[in-house]
Amino acid sequence: MEIVIGTIRNKPSMAGPEMWRTRWRMHKGDMRPSTTGSWSGGDSVQEVAVTGVKERDITERRAEAGVDLLRLSELKAGEEATLQGFEAGHGLASRLSALGFTPGAQVTMLQNIGHGPLIVKVRDTRIALGRGEAMKVRVRR
Partner 1 sequence: MTEQRTIKVALAGQPNVGKSTVFNLLTGLSQHVGNWPGKTVERKEGTYCHNGASVHIVDLPGTYSLTANSAEEVIGRDHIIREKPDVVVAVINASSMERNLYLVAELLSLQTPVIVAMNMMDVAEQGGLKIEPQVLEAALGVPVVPMTATRNQGIRELVEAIDELTRDGASYEPKRPEIREDHREVLEELQDLVGAYVPQPYPADWVSLKLLEGDDEILRMMQDRLPEDIWEAVHDILKEHEDAVVAVASGRYDWVGRMTRAALVRPGVGQVTLTERLDRWATHPLWGLLVLAGILGLVFWLTYSVGAPLQGLLETYVVEGGGQFAGNALHRAPAWLSSLVVDGVIGGAGMVITFIPILIIFFAFMGLLEDVGYMARAGYVMDRFMHLMGLHGKSFLPLFMGFGCNVPAVLGTRVIESQRGRLLTTMLVPLVPCTARMMVLAFFTPLFFGSAAPLVAWSLVGLSLLVLAVSGVLINKVAFGGERAAFIMELPLYHLPNWRTIGILIWQRSLAFFKRAGTVILVVSVVLWALSALPTGEIETSYLAGVGRLLAPLGSLMGLSWKMMVALLTSFVAKENSIASLGVLYGASSEGSLAQTLPAVMTPAAALGFLVVQMLFIPCVATVVSILNETRSWRWTLFNLVFLLMVSFGVGILVYQVAALVA
Pairing of β 125-129 and β 3-10: unpaired
* Min separation Cβ 71 and partner 1, Å: 16
- Give the DSSP H or E segment for 99: none
CA angle, 62 as apex, 64 and 94 as ends, to 5°? 80
* Min separation Cβ 107 and partner 1, Å: 13
* Min separation Cβ 33 and partner 1, Å: 32
Task: Select 8 or 133, whichever has its Cβ closest to partner 1.
Answer: 133
Task: Select 41 or 114, whichever has its Cβ closest to partner 1.
Answer: 114
DSSP class of 71: E
Closest C-alpha among 135, 94, 100 to residue 118:
135
Task: Select 17 or 103, whichever has its Cβ closest to partner 1.
Answer: 103
Both ends of the chain: CA-CA distance in Å? 19
Chain contacts with partner 1 (rule: CB under 8 A): 85-86, 90-100, 102-105, 110-111, 113-117, 119, 123-130, 132-133
Task: Select 50 or 98, whichever has its Cβ closest to partner 1.
Answer: 98
* Min separation Cβ 69 and partner 1, Å: 15
Check: CB of residue 36 under 8 Å from CB of residue 23. Answer: yes
